[in-house]
Amino acid sequence: MHPGPAQLQLLATMVAVYWLLLLAFFLMCFALAAYYLAPYWQRYRAYARAVATCGYLPDPPKPRAVRLLNAISRCVTGYQVGKIKASGVENLPKSGPAVIALNHPHYTDGFVVQQLLPRPARYMGAQWVFRLPFGIGPLLARCGGFAVDTTSGKGGPARDAAVKVLTTDQQLVLCPEGETHLDGALGQFKKGAVRIAREAAEKLGTPVPIIPVCLRYGKYPGSWIMKWPKYRSYAYLILTAWYYRRGVTVVVGKPIGADELSGDDEKDTELLRSRVAALDPAGR
């Protein structure tokens, strides 16, 4: 026996009511979630803006964050770099404040060095990196990073934050070149590294060693890619990792002692640059 028109209409009405009630239920759940999660989202957005501000210094990384950074570092270098060969690692201090200054020939430099350090470190990173989407900035901040505006004359707040890092018995990793040089050449060094070490030493009353480090990758894209926007060049390196994944050699030099520094920012910066250049395993 087939249902009549009245029965079909009743059935259609019941189905429509069912879907309307289901939609109302999901809308109510969404509204409740938005209401209760809104404060957390606002705090997260505020934190994301703060960590992308030059000179904002997050709390030191906790052990769980350090373990996470180590895991991320292994994944990134395993995919993009390959085998890491290192020498002179015994020159990395196991205690006390120190500035670890390295050249910057790749976006993965920090992840490479992280796997060689005997203890947690703080990293100075370019401000644009902390502005990347998908929560990259807050994640880096939790793992020990803080942002610096690499524009000439605008890095003062980050320098003050770096001095605070050293005066609280932490070690600092930075790249005096400021920008990444994807052609393997060593660029000019900015004076921030020696200024940070000197100011921290003055406040502590004891010398702060500067450890020169040189990284030499097996293959570089070349100077042509440096004309691209940073986001595009990094995306290109990720997509072509199979081609540029030729390993890296890391050489850690002996600390530059206080007696070797003249107090002149320009001369001391050139001394640091020459020490990093002398470590280059390619002899360039």
Task: Say whether both 65 and 162 belong to one domain.
Answer: yes
Backbone phi and psi for residue 102, each to the nearest 5 degrees, phi listed first: -130, 155
Residue-level pLDDT at 46? 93
For residue 2, tell me if it sits in a domain. Answer: no
pTM recorded for the entire structure? 0.87
Contacts of 178 (CB under 8 A, 6+ apart): 104, 126, 150, 187, 190
Task: Say whether both 36 and 126 belong to one domain.
Answer: no
The C-alpha atoms of residue 168 and residue 25 are separated, in whole angstroms, by: 53
Per-residue pLDDT of 7-42, as tens digits, reads 767 777 887 888 888 888 888 888 888 788 788 889
The C-alpha atoms of residue 243 and residue 241 are separated, in whole angstroms, by: 5
Task: Say whether both 154 and 27 belong to one domain.
Answer: no
Task: Say whether both 25 and 74 belong to one domain.
Answer: no
Give residue 104's domain range: 54-278
Question: Any idea what the CATH number is for the domain that residue 82 is in?
Answer: 3.40.1130.10
Task: Say whether both 80 and 107 belong to one domain.
Answer: yes
Strand order in the sheet with 145-148: 84-87, 248-252, 210-217, 98-102, 171-174, 122-126, 145-148
Task: Say whether both 232 and 141 belong to one domain.
Answer: yes
Residue-level pLDDT at 3? 65
Per-residue pLDDT of 211-253, as tens digits, reads 999 999 999 999 899 889 888 998 999 999 999 999 999 999 9
For residue 3, tell me if it sits in a domain. Answer: no
Task: Say whether both 153 and 118 belong to one domain.
Answer: yes
Q: Which residues of the chain have pLDDT under 70?
A: 1-4, 8, 284
Among 194, 165, 167, residue whose Cα is nearest residue 273: 194
For residue 67, tell me if it sits in a domain. Answer: yes
Q: What is the number of domains present in the chain?
A: 2
For residue 283, tell me if it sits in a domain. Answer: no
